[in-house]
Amino acid sequence: MSQESFVDLSMVRRRLAGSGGRRYWKSLEELAATPGFQNFLEREFPEQASEWSDPSGRREFLRIMGASLALAGLTACTRQPEEKIVPYVKSPEQVVPGRPLFFATSVLDQGFAKGVLVESHLGRPTKIEGNPEHPASLGATDAFGQATILGLYDPDRSKTITNRGEIRTWGAFLTALQPALAAQKALGGAGFRILTETVTSPTLAAQLDALLAQYPAAKWHQYQPVSADNARAGAELAFGEALAAQYRLAEADVILSLEADFLGSGPANVRLIREFSGRRRIEGEHARLNRLYVVEGSPSITGAAADHRLPLRSSEIEGVARAVAAGLGLPVEGADRAHAAWVGPLVKDLRKHGGRSLVLAGESQPAEVHALAHAMNGELGNLGKTVVFTAPVEARPLNQLASLRDLVADMAGGEVALLLVLGGNPVYNAPADLALAAALDQVPLRIHLGLYQDETAERCHWHLAEAHGLESWSDARAFDGSVSIVQPLIAPLYGGKSAHEVLAAFLGFGDRAGYQVVREHWKGLFGADDFEGRWQRAVHDGVVAGSALPEKPVTLASGDWVRPARQARNPGLEIAFRADPTIGDGRFANNGWLQELPKPLTKLTWENAALLSPRLAARLGIAVSSTASGATTDLVELRYAGNALKVPAWIVPGHPEDSVTLHLGYGRRKAGRVGSGLGVNAYALRRSDGLWFGAGLEIRKTGERAILACTQDHWTIEHETQTTKRHLVRSADLAEFERNPHFAREMSEEPPADLSMYPAHTYRGHAWGMTIDLSACVGCNACVVACQSENNIPVVGKDQVARGREMQWIRIDRYYQGGLDNPETHHQPVLCMHCENAPCEVVCPVAATVHSDEGLNDMVYNRCVGTRYCSNNCPYKVRRFNFFLYQDWDTPSLKLMRNPDVTVRSRGVMEKCTYCVQRINQARIDAKNQDRPLRDGEIETACQSVCPARAIVFGDVNDPKSRVTGQKSSPRNYGLLADLNTRPRTSYLASVRNPNPDMPREAGPGAARASLELGSGPDV
């Protein structure tokens, strides 16, 4: 870091000194400037990290041995190895050893900012929390946000600058670059192309503009496999200009989603979940529940949350949209009358809620459908109420697919002499028919900046290791345009460069720190007077005040959307492409947490599969069965547009019958040690003329079998009948609920506290408890990853998951109800219930799991001998066992990542949810040190604080005024398996759905209630 930045930062700090605040802005430069720490870092990372990759069996064996010895060390009577203390030479301000600091920054999702607070221990970022002051976060994050921390410490990240595989220095790169740039200067940049992903960063945009100014003839292309092309085109169709829509779900009573997975993905999904769930929650006995209609071509969590769901092939949805529009009185053609029974009541419902309804279209639908949605909203008077419009958020909105096409054409035509790829992995994720790779090879000089030595890096002359988002300075816009300053939490572990620094080099600034680039840009924006103050605030808050884009009034231009673009009905099978729900478009492929995160609906991990409907499966004779080594299924061959792919088939109840869904993001060749060679590459089938779906799919059973790692015993009729008999998830329609608010409690009787041959224990002082509102939970998975990050939970790999040895402390059970074709889907997060009559404790021979005086079910790792008796006797099966040495005791970077407040468990011990006891203890100690009682809400468990739906409430059930006590007094409150008299401290609030009374039963979800006989489906 350069001296000058160091200077004015310390100045900054002096300014800051007065202002307190919960989170402090701290200059990483200073910490890193301490050579001691620098050496420390160097000692710790590059060399040893590379050493780790040595896969020789010997080290493995030693590792295991070492671990066994380490374990022996856990027994009380052996000596410990001598430890060293390495204090600072000059300790940075604000740093109190043993206490974390929180810094505001943002993580990027498809180029859009989601605000976060990062917990940092002595300069090591360890945990990500949401930033309550950020519009896209509101204090929560999604699973991707949580997993960013693992991405930062990923030992497989690219660590060097390479030229044709040879390691080079930054200086060498700069010198090598000069002639090429000089040549382009002469041509005005005619042969110069820059390819980025979606860019919202004002600074980066400014740099690019400056570059284009220097090279007028150069071109800036953008591409990422999941873009907003259709939405943008739709807006242009509807309003004649490119606009970005923002939805106000809180205001909407009736919502129609045309394949829009607004809860599952997108730059605003965290906020939208909050708003949506806010309208699903029932305080007391009355509620203004919203009602959600979903038409979709592939099951999503949004569809799972729907009150009425219509599974259709993606190509048929436009027809339904037109039918709805026609019903609303819009002059449209090509309406599909086939679903009149469903559309009729829907239209009535929408009409009834004019101005308080909302129609959304998904990116996977063509522009016309988006336009129709806008038109319908116009017709319903929703414009400006439940949906508002702003100028596009992207720095330079364009049709990315077209942009990529042009680039490929130019490259193939040999017009490109110098290509700079700033992030992204087009070689892997471009549509197959563009043949990008071949064209790329025509370019004489190809430069790639990326986090990994990936497929694209492999085909570029120069690869520059990119600095991670948590390592570099930048800025970015959120879905509503508000800008966040992105600040680094740690010096680049592997000495990477940020896009700003690379562009600075191209602009001729040599090696200019990203910090300066960003600051300079904002100096320009904030103006000189009180720049420091405003900059301070911006960095401190994590968002630039008042930077959100202003709403724009809109007028509908009756346009081309009236007539259907293509004829809707196409016979035969259809293929649908979707971003993977846990690893996105493939950018998270090397992230173990996300790989092992069960997909919300299929509960598959570590790979993708051809998702198909029970009926189609029956037709093809697909047999899925669970075995001790995993779920076995048939390997099918998909033939589509001349390409073929062998994929394991997986049966998904509620999938449209004549279509097959394939998730993008797998089949990576060069993702890293975690992500390479998993699943199949859907991009190999994806075509530019149908990014999201296409007709003419042929499917064939190969006769081979495949093993998948599914965390939940695959769906069977047995499941459904047993689930309903056992009243595990309890749910009712709003009407039923109003008739009998206590329906949930009456489903099974909870034994009274005194029903025991022993006197009941009384808890003086605190008694911790939790409630989970099943009405609010949408199954987004954020809590699972948050828990994994907070509690140092290891990743175990596909084989172990397949054997049922996954380690996540909180899991989300998925239950179907109502048959195979279009079932109701329920999510139930299950973690340790902290039973007052804990069955696990009684059977532990060494008292390694016992009750604390506050009613926590403590698990004492260092006392555990690993009999697994507790797990056998746990009716909830929430206990997790270290069958092997799952924790990575070697990789230095992963050691830095761990939460220092939680023991790192080793081989042979049981573990489970602790209600984040480390947070409880810290809060208790702080309160005691300040001689004050604990405040309600002062303690938030990791799962609670991350939950976008605010479905989880934790607190003191002995405190009559606490929120959790309030929740538990709700009539919907019930204990899972409480009839066993385990007296769980964690309880659930039954879910209440709000179906349209006029909707014919057999048309909604749970339609096929009667079709249970069709059980021959997946259960084979």
* Residues between 450 and 509 that touch other proteins (CB under 8 A): none
Residues within window 329-348 making contact with other proteins, judged by CB under 8 A: none
Query: Based on CB atoms, which residue is closest to other proteins, 56 or 75?
Result: 75
Answer for which of 850, 923, 1014, 1020 binds other proteins (CB under 8 A) is 850
Give yes or no for residue 1016 binding other proteins (CB under 8 A). Answer: no
Give the shortest CB-931-to-other proteins separation in angstroms: 8
Give the shortest CB-796-to-other proteins separation in angstroms: 9
Give yes or no for residue 909 binding other proteins (CB under 8 A). Answer: yes
809 to 838: interface string for other proteins, x by CB under 8 A = --x-xxx------------x-x----xxxx
Give the shortest CB-918-to-other proteins separation in angstroms: 5
Largest CA distance in the chain: 93
Give yes or no for residue 844 binding other proteins (CB under 8 A). Answer: yes
* Residue type (1 letter), 909: V
Total count of residues recorded for the chain: 1020
Is the C-alpha dihedral spanning 929, 932, 936, 937 positive or negative?
negative
Give yes or no for residue 896 binding other proteins (CB under 8 A). Answer: no
Give the shortest CB-880-to-other proteins separation in angstroms: 7
**What is the distance between the alpha carbons of residues 1013 and 384, in angstroms, rounded to a whole number?**
48
Distances (CA, A) of 329 to 240, 280, 324, 335, 347: 22, 30, 9, 12, 10
> Which has the closest alpha carbon to 808: 952, 721, 712?
712
Answer for which of 10, 68, 94, 958 binds other proteins (CB under 8 A) is 68
Give yes or no for residue 14 binding other proteins (CB under 8 A). Answer: no
Using the rule CB under 8 A, give the single segment among 227-235, 303-311, 546-554, 841-849 that binds other proteins.
Answer: 841-849
Give the shortest CB-170-to-other proteins separation in angstroms: 24
**What is the distance between the alpha carbons of residues 164 and 225, in angstroms, rounded to a whole number?**
26
Report DSSP state, residue 760. P
Residues within window 599-638 making contact with other proteins, judged by CB under 8 A: 626-629
Give yes or no for residue 40 binding other proteins (CB under 8 A). Answer: yes
Answer for which of 11, 47, 73, 1012 binds other proteins (CB under 8 A) is 73
Query: Based on CB atoms, which residue is closest to other proteins, 862 or 1016?
Result: 862
Task: For residue 957, give the 3-state DSSP assignment.
Answer: coil
> What angle is formed at CA 772 by the lines to CA 768 and CA 778, rounded to 5 degrees?
150
Answer for which of 194, 910, 942, 943 binds other proteins (CB under 8 A) is 910
Answer for which of 214, 918, 958, 1011 binds other proteins (CB under 8 A) is 918
Distances (CA, A) of 510 to 178, 382, 516: 11, 52, 13
Query: Based on CB atoms, which residue is closest to other proteins, 157 or 879?
Result: 879
Give the shortest CB-548-to-other proteins separation in angstroms: 38
Distances (CA, A) of 415 to 368, 407, 438, 446, 503: 35, 9, 14, 13, 22
Give yes or no for residue 24 binding other proteins (CB under 8 A). Answer: no
- Determine contact, residues 518/499, Cβ cutoff 8 Å: no
937 to 976: interface string for other proteins, x by CB under 8 A = ----------------------------------------
Give the shortest CB-921-to-other proteins separation in angstroms: 7
Give the shortest CB-774-to-other proteins separation in angstroms: 14
CB atoms under 10 Å from CB of 239, counted, come to: 20
Distances (CA, A) of 663 to 426, 650, 981: 17, 12, 43
Answer for which of 525, 557, 707, 728 binds other proteins (CB under 8 A) is 728
Give yes or no for residue 566 binding other proteins (CB under 8 A). Answer: no
Give yes or no for residue 175 binding other proteins (CB under 8 A). Answer: no
# binding residues, other proteins (CB under 8 A): 123
Residues within window 92-151 making contact with other proteins, judged by CB under 8 A: 96-99
- Determine contact, residues 336/322, Cβ cutoff 8 Å: yes
> What angle is formed at CA 899 by the lines to CA 785 and CA 786, rounded to 5 degrees?
15
Between strands 418-422 and 445-450, the pairing is: parallel
Give the shortest CB-782-to-other proteins separation in angstroms: 19
**What is the distance between the alpha carbons of residues 329 and 325, in angstroms, rounded to a whole number?**
6
Answer for which of 8, 441, 718, 998 binds other proteins (CB under 8 A) is 718
Query: Based on CB atoms, which residue is closest to other proteins, 537 or 895?
Result: 895
Give the shortest CB-1005-to-other proteins separation in angstroms: 19
> Which has the closest alpha carbon to 653: 885, 514, 824, 443?
824
**What is the distance between the alpha carbons of residues 504 and 513, in angstroms, rounded to a whole number?**
9
Query: Based on CB atoms, which residue is closest to other proteins, 446 or 714?
Result: 714
Between strands 610-612 and 643-651, the pairing is: parallel
Give yes or no for residue 558 binding other proteins (CB under 8 A). Answer: no
Using the rule CB under 8 A, give the single segment among 75-83, 376-384, 988-996, 1011-1019 that binds other proteins.
Answer: 75-83
Query: Based on CB atoms, which residue is closest to other proteins, 423 or 984?
Result: 984
Query: Based on CB atoms, which residue is closest to other proteins, 119 or 480?
Result: 119
Residues within window 872-891 making contact with other proteins, judged by CB under 8 A: 872-873, 875-877, 879-885
Give first-to-last CA distance, the chain, whole Å: 62
Q: Name, in order, each residue with C-beta under 8 angstroms of 690's C-beta and a sequence gap of 6 or more.
A: none
Give yes or no for residue 751 binding other proteins (CB under 8 A). Answer: no
Query: Based on CB atoms, which residue is closest to other proteins, 61 or 209?
Result: 61
In DSSP notation, 639-662 reads EETTEEEEEEEEE-TT--TTEEEE
**What is the distance between the alpha carbons of residues 589 and 606, in angstroms, rounded to a whole number?**
9
Give the shortest CB-633-to-other proteins separation in angstroms: 14
Query: Based on CB atoms, which residue is closest to other proteins, 75 or 567?
Result: 75
**What is the distance between the alpha carbons of residues 308 and 306, in angstroms, rounded to a whole number?**
5
Tokens of 657: 């019958």
Give yes or no for residue 759 binding other proteins (CB under 8 A). Answer: yes
Give the shortest CB-607-to-other proteins separation in angstroms: 20
Answer for which of 53, 178, 740, 862 binds other proteins (CB under 8 A) is 862
Residues within window 416-445 making contact with other proteins, judged by CB under 8 A: none
Give yes or no for residue 1015 binding other proteins (CB under 8 A). Answer: no
Residues within window 257-316 making contact with other proteins, judged by CB under 8 A: none
Using the rule CB under 8 A, give the single segment among 221-229, 242-250, 808-816, 942-950 that binds other proteins.
Answer: 808-816
**Which residue blocks in 333-454 are alpha helix, DSSP H?**
340-352, 367-379, 400-412, 426-429, 436-440
**What is the distance between the alpha carbons of residues 941 and 921, in angstroms, rounded to a whole number?**
12
Query: Based on CB atoms, which residue is closest to other proteins, 573 or 767?
Result: 767
**Phi then psi for 870, rounded to 5 degrees?**
-60, -45
Query: Based on CB atoms, which residue is closest to other proteins, 555 or 930?
Result: 930
**Which residue blocks in 353-419 are alpha helix, DSSP H?**
367-379, 400-412
* Residue type (1 letter), 886: Y
**What is the distance between the alpha carbons of residues 207 and 162, in angstroms, rounded to a whole number?**
24
Using the rule CB under 8 A, give the single segment among 317-325, 573-581, 665-673, 864-872 that binds other proteins.
Answer: 864-872
Residues within window 981-1000 making contact with other proteins, judged by CB under 8 A: 983
Answer for which of 536, 867, 958, 1011 binds other proteins (CB under 8 A) is 867
785 to 804: interface string for other proteins, x by CB under 8 A = ---------------x--xx
> Which has the closest alpha carbon to 219: 495, 496, 470, 408?
408
Query: Based on CB atoms, which residue is closest to other proteins, 162 or 837?
Result: 837
**What is the distance between the alpha carbons of residues 541 and 175, in angstroms, rounded to a whole number?**
40
**Phi then psi for 823, rounded to 5 degrees?**
-75, 165
For residue 391, the number of C-alpha atoms closer than 13 Å in the C-beta half-sphere is 11
**What is the distance between the alpha carbons of residues 129 and 825, in angstroms, rounded to a whole number?**
29
